[in-house]
């Protein structure tokens, strides 16, 4: 980031970051906000030249925060919208005022032209979840898999991309009759809703013995139900993403097959780099951009910086999230997991 100081010096105005909530994932508070602030500071911006806000799940709050930032002199918005409609409204207003936009983590469907999208390859995220489920079904010797497929919220474009990935992996197994798909109910990012949905589906489909869960928080809610039902470890596969502390611990406990690790520090740095080039009125270097992403709402291709996700299991946890200091061994390895951590080489 220090190498971008000349770009920062060439720009004018504030960089305003708009984050969506604190409930759909702990990542926004634990990682995105501090990593974004660290990257902005490391690039040479003073505390008066950037601002990070969280909308607490409200489109209206995010619009108010965006309006305030633009009034205060923001020349670039880094936005992770609560909903596509809410994000698109903010971006339309920003464009009308000459303010640049970086879509962060989630693509804003119907967003402004000329924006840049920074995220992970979210279809790949879904593929890792699907492959992890398949590998786990084999490793845990699940007989006649009856699988519930759970999705993220329908308002989140990433949830659609995740589903595209894991459904693509699982479809041949369903088509051949090797696996049975018991259902794919309406999606959510609210763990309590996920728990209720799972409970209802389990009652309706008593032969269910595996579930695709799209993130660690939803998986944790489902796993609590499995434990309530006294279902043993390594018999009922679940999946996840975000490499959250509960997710990693559930992997070690044998209730979750794995979790998708997305090095958020890299994502934050890429978003800040894109914002600084926009702020300076300079074209993004070809070395930074590595693709485009289809905005299905506007039928346009959005310039994209897509990072690579990693599937984490007990086999590589020590070499990935722990080695990267994303999660510490002391936090992961509570007393009841000391043996599992030792076996996984986590010290």
Which residue matches tokens 């596509």?
A: 84
> Structure tokens of 298?
């506007």
Task: Please give the pLDDT value at position 235.
Answer: 98
Which residue matches tokens 């108010």?
A: 64
Instruction: Report whether 257 contacts 53 (CB < 8 A).
Output: no
State the chain's mean pLDDT as an integer.
Answer: 96
Examine the domain organization and report whether 83 and 24 are in the same domain: yes
Examine the domain organization and report whether 9 and 43 are in the same domain: yes
Q: Provide mean pLDDT across the span 91-114.
A: 95
Write out pLDDT tens, residues 258-270.
999 999 999 999 9
Examine the domain organization and report whether 270 and 241 are in the same domain: no
Q: Provide mean pLDDT across the span 4-8.
A: 95
Examine the domain organization and report whether 7 and 95 are in the same domain: yes
Integer Cα distance of 256 and 79 in angstroms: 31
Query: Does pLDDT of 72 surpass 90?
Result: yes
Examine the domain organization and report whether 34 and 113 are in the same domain: yes
Higher pLDDT, 155 or 137: 137
Count other C-beta atoms under 10 Å from residue 30's C-beta. Answer: 17
Integer Cα distance of 72 and 47 in angstroms: 13
Q: State the Cα angle at 268 between 266 and 269, rounded to 5°.
A: 65
Sheet arrangement for strand 210-212:
180-183, 146-149, 210-212
Query: Does pLDDT of 25 surpass 80?
Result: no
Task: Please give the pLDDT value at position 148.
Answer: 98
Write out pLDDT tens, residues 201-253.
999 999 999 999 999 999 999 999 999 999 999 999 999 999 999 999 999 99
Query: Does pLDDT of 124 surpass 90?
Result: yes
Integer Cα distance of 14 and 261 in angstroms: 31
Which residue matches tokens 């018999």?
A: 235
Task: Please give the pLDDT value at position 27.
Answer: 84
Sign of CA dihedral 285, 288, 294, 295: negative
Q: Phi/psi of residue 97, each to 5°?
A: -105, 10
Q: Provide mean pLDDT across the span 68-95.
A: 96
Examine the domain organization and report whether 196 and 240 are in the same domain: yes
Domain of 21, in residue numbers: 2-120+264-307
Task: Please give the pLDDT value at position 34.
Answer: 95
Q: Provide mean pLDDT across the span 283-300.
A: 92
Examine the domain organization and report whether 224 and 152 are in the same domain: yes
Examine the domain organization and report whether 103 and 21 are in the same domain: yes
Task: Please give the pLDDT value at position 155.
Answer: 87
Segment holding 211, helix H or strand E: strand 210-212
Q: Provide mean pLDDT across the span 305-325.
A: 96
Pairing of strands 210-212, 291-295: unpaired
- CATH number of the domain enclosing 166: 3.40.50.2300
Query: Does pLDDT of 174 surpass 90?
Result: yes
Closest alpha carbon to 303 in 136, 102, 164 = 102
Q: Provide mean pLDDT across the span 280-285.
A: 94
Examine the domain organization and report whether 185 and 246 are in the same domain: yes
Task: Please give the pLDDT value at position 104.
Answer: 97
Query: Does pLDDT of 24 surpass 80?
Result: no
Q: Provide mean pLDDT across the span 26-37.
A: 91
Examine the domain organization and report whether 157 and 185 are in the same domain: yes
Examine the domain organization and report whether 12 and 35 are in the same domain: yes
Examine the domain organization and report whether 86 and 197 are in the same domain: no
Query: Does pLDDT of 298 surpass 80?
Result: yes
Task: Please give the pLDDT value at position 170.
Answer: 98
Closest alpha carbon to 64 in 50, 49, 54 = 54
Integer Cα distance of 107 and 158 in angstroms: 7
Whole-prediction pTM value? 0.86
Q: In the chain, what percentage of residues exceed pLDDT 70?
A: 100
Tell me the DSSP string of 15-44.
Answer: EEEEE--SSS-THIIIIIHHHHHHHHHHTT
Task: Please give the pLDDT value at position 23.
Answer: 81
């Amino acid at each position: 980031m220090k190498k971008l100081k000349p770009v920062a010096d060439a720009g004018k105005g504030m960089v305003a970051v708009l984050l969506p909530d604190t409930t759909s994932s702990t990542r926004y508070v634990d990682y995105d906000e501090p990593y974004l602030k660290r990257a902005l500071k490391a690039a040479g911006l003073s505390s008066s030249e950037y601002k990070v806000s969280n909308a607490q799940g409200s489109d209206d709050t995010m619009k108010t925060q965006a309006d305030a930032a633009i009034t205060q002199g923001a020349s670039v918005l880094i936005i992770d919208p609560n909903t596509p409609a809410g994000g698109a409204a903010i971006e339309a207003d920003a464009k009308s005022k000459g303010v640049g936009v970086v879509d962060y983590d989630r693509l804003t469907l119907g967003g402004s032209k000329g924006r840049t999208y920074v995220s992970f390859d979210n279809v790949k995220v879904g593929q890792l979840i699907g492959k992890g489920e398949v590998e786990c079904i084999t490793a845990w010797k699940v007989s006649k898999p009856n699988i519930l497929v759970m999705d993220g919220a329908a308002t989140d474009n990433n949830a659609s991309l995740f589903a595209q990935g894991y459904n693509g992996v699982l479809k041949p197994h369903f088509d051949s009759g090797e696996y049975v798909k018991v259902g794919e109910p309406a999606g959510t990012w609210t763990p309590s809703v996920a728990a209720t949905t799972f409970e209802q589906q389990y009652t309706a489909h008593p032969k269910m013995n595996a579930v695709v869960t799209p993130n660690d928080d939803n998986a944790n809610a489902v796993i609590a139900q499995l434990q309530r039902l006294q279902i043993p470890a390594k018999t009922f596969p679940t999946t996840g993403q975000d490499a959250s502390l509960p997710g990693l611990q559930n992997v070690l406990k044998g209730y979750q097959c794995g979790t998708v690790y997305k090095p958020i520090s890299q994502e934050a740095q890429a978003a800040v780099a894109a914002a600084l080039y926009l702020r300076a009125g300079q074209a993004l270097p070809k070395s930074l951009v590595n693709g485009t992403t289809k905005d299905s709402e506007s039928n346009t291709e959005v310039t994209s910086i897509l990072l690579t996700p990693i599937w984490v299991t007990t086999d590589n946890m020590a070499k990935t999230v722990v080695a990267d200091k994303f999660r510490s061994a002391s936090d992961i390895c509570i007393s009841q997991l000391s043996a599992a951590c030792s076996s996984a080489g986590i010290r």
